[in-house]
Every structure is written in C-alpha cells, then in structure tokens.
Amino acid sequence: MKALNNILFIAFFGWLASATAAPPLCEGNVTSLDTAATVVKKRTGGQVLSADGEKIDGQLMYRIKILTPGGHIRNIYVDPCPKQ
C-alpha cells in the first residue's frame, strides 16, 4: 500500500506540473471534507478556495479547488478510499 501511495503522490505532483488530468488522490483514512482539504493544502502549498463532495460514476469524491503558489486554479479530487 505504501508503494501505491508513493506512486499516487508522484503522479499527483506530475499532474500539477503538467496541468493534465491525474487519477484521484487516494488518501486512505480521509473520512471528512475538512481532512481532504488539509491534505491537499499541505501537499500543494496552495490556498484552498472551496471544497465539496461530488458523486462521480456513483462514487463519492472530494473536490478541492486550490490556488497554487504559481497562481493557477486547480481542482484536486480526493478519493476517500479506506485503507486495507
């Protein structure tokens, strides 16, 4: 699971650099919208503009809109998938 998180972490920051779509960030025990926003803020260094829950293909996803340190607005999707 740790290797998967590392791969997702690298893919996440690669997405920020290239501004292309990335798979949702799976943060294991993220059980609330506030926690998801905190995780995204820490990982990006950006300012959280908004946070909400969305159903995508029937699955709950947290959408965190941030203003990056570089001045870009990004939507980051966090999958509240449980750790196994």
Indicate the SS3 state at residue 64. strand
pLDDT in tens, 23-40: 555 655 677 899 899 989
- Token look-up 């809109």 returns 65
Helix (H, G, I), strand (E, B) or coil at 8: helix
- Domain regions of the chain by residue span: 2-79
Asked whether the predicted pLDDT for residue 17 surpasses 70, the reply is: no
- At 70-79, the pLDDT tens digits run 999 999 998 8
Across 1-84, where does the E strand assignment appear? 25-26, 47-56, 59-67, 73-79
Total residue count of the chain as it appears in this document: 84
